[in-house]
Amino acid sequence: MSGESKPTILIVGAGLGGVMLGALLEKADIPYLIVERATTVKPLGSALAVGPSMVPVFEQMGIDKEYLALGKRARYSMFIKENQEKLLALDYCPMDEFTGYPGFIVARPLFYDLLLNQIPTSKIHFGKRIDTILETNDKVEAHTTTGETFVGDILVGADGAYSSVRKGLYERLKKEGRLPESDQEDLPFRCTCLVGQTEPLDLEVYSQLKDPRSAEEERTANDAENAEWGPSATQSMMDKTRGFPIHFGDGKRTLGDMFDKTPKDLISKVSLEEKIFETWSGGRTVLLGDACHKLNPAGGQGAFTAMQDAMTLANLFYAMSSPSLSEVQTTFSEYRAERYPAAVKAFDASQTLSMLTGKNFGSKVALFVAQNLPDFLWRQFVKKMVVSRSTMGFLKEVELKGTVVPVEAASSVKAREVYRQRHGTVSV
């Protein structure tokens, strides 16, 4: 692909999906800009479980050692009641065997900074709110509320569950009579919660954290800016839940203890939305991550699927022969064909895991089945989780590890073939 034929990518949103895409485009030498409405990004959620399937990609990017240094090995996921009764322990040790890499969790802000450091400061613009998006057959323009205009060949909406990019795209498609009824409905959610990040806890007081099976769970947040979700609403919910018992410490600890050990600006009230949108693109605009699929956080799959979206888009952008509208729309079709089934699978898995903590009859049945699942069936389940281990086709291939041969995504295969054609060699 000549310098003139490379598409210029505008990324709206500097969350994990957006910065992952930017970091990959940087490696692919594809021109891009990231535009973020916030002046700084505050990654919410206690910890991030990325999983061993992503480590080969980090190795290709040259950040694997930094990632592993930031993380802690995580082999178990435990479900515990308020009275400290252990309901279920899920053993993910087979992942080590199947992939050749251990599972890790990492503090979300530290991981975010690692990705952000891969992006030159000149290519990311904070404090720029997109007001209007205009498209022609040749370009897409993003206009900010402060008068700036950013021009590119493709615009990626990576701006979260309440995406302004999606809103604008859907309004246009609705006027044209091309928006499905399901995409015109509000985001549904079943509950709200508080998320935050405590300061380091004393291991002698919270002795359960010494258990090597201790793990943390990812939580994501929406960006709604109204009284129902602002600081006052957060404080009100904290006041109502301070006395709620938790399983840490001597059994007498409450959520209030956690609130007192958490900076107030890192506590937010969020809704746990759940929806997969049918429409992922239109014209020269495409959606990524929570903007097109918002998962129940019980499965800890939100950030993982967003980063996989970014990987697919980066591979397909690299493989484009030109930034023509027909080529762009073909790329978007391939992207949705690859990622929509994966998003549905992650959505269903998250729904299933969320049932384990419910109180209705269906949840009790699901918990009983999980508690009594034969080991060979659990291993098969874990194997299905890791069999798809896509990598970047335009970066140096990494050594295959583990006992399960990975099935690469079509986008990875396509990018690798294009790389070989352009360089007249084999990437090894």
The DSSP code sequence of 365-404 is HHHHHHHT--HHHHHHHHHHHHS-----TTS------SSS
- List Cα–Cα distances, 375 to 92, 95, 101, in angstroms: 11, 14, 21
Tell me whether residue 323 is in a domain. yes
Contacts of 405 (CB under 8 A, 6+ apart): none
| 3-state SS assignment for residue 140 | strand
Q: Residue 162, Cα to own-chain centre: how many angstroms?
A: 15
Tell me whether residue 256 is in a domain. no
Fill in the DSSP letter of residue 363. Answer: H
Tell me whether residue 94 is in a domain. yes
Length, in residues, of the chain: 428
Domain that holds residue 121: 3-195+210-218+274-423
Tell me whether residue 146 is in a domain. yes
Domain harbouring 157, CATH code: 3.50.50.60
pLDDT at residue 43, as a whole number:
60
Q: Which residue has the tokens 């050594």?
A: 399
Tell me whether residue 228 is in a domain. no
pLDDT at residue 359, as a whole number:
72
Number of domains composing the chain? 1
Contacts of 104 (CB under 8 A, 6+ apart): 49, 50, 51, 52, 55, 67, 68, 71, 72, 73, 74
Tell me whether residue 113 is in a domain. yes
Tell me whether residue 264 is in a domain. no
Entry pTM? 0.82
CB-CB contact of 73 with 130 (8 Å): no
| Pairing outcome for strands 124-126 and 76-80 | unpaired
Per-residue pLDDT of 227-271, as tens digits, reads 344 577 678 878 888 888 776 666 678 888 888 888 777 777 666
Give alpha helix (H) positions in 119-194: 164-175
Q: Which two tokens stand for residue 289?
A: 């991550």
> What is the enclosing helix (H) or strand (E) of 182?
none
Tell me whether residue 280 is in a domain. yes
List the strands of the sheet with 281-282, edge to edge.
124-126, 32-36, 9-12, 154-157, 285-287, 281-282
CB-CB contact of 35 with 144 (8 Å): yes
Q: Which two tokens stand for residue 338?
A: 């690859």
pLDDT at residue 122, as a whole number:
96
Which residues of the chain carry a pLDDT beneath 50? 1-4, 213-229, 427-428
pLDDT at residue 384, as a whole number:
83
- List Cα–Cα distances, 51 to 74, 146, 300, 324, in angstroms: 9, 40, 10, 36
Greatest Cα pair distance, the chain, in angstroms, is: 66
DSSP 223-274: ---STTTSHHHHHHHHHHHTT-B-SSTTTT-BHHHHHHTS-GGG-EEEEEE-
CB-CB contact of 22 with 35 (8 Å): no
Q: 242, exposed or middle or buried, with CB in 10 Å at 0-12, 13-18, 19+?
A: middle
pLDDT at residue 207, as a whole number:
67
- Asked whether the CA dihedral 36, 41, 46, 48 is positive or negative, the reply is positive
- For residues 333 and 409, give the distance between their C-alpha atoms in angstroms, rounded to a whole number: 14
- For residues 46 and 364, give the distance between their C-alpha atoms in angstroms, rounded to a whole number: 27
pLDDT at residue 53, as a whole number:
83
- Quick count: other Cβ atoms within 10 Å of Cβ 289? 32
Q: Which residue has the tokens 């549905």?
A: 344
- Print burial letters for 59-95: b (CB count within 10 Å at least 16), e (below 16): bbbebbeebbebbeebbebbbbeeeeeeeeebebebb
| Strand spans (E) along 52-138 | 72-73, 76-80, 86-91, 104-106, 124-126, 130-135
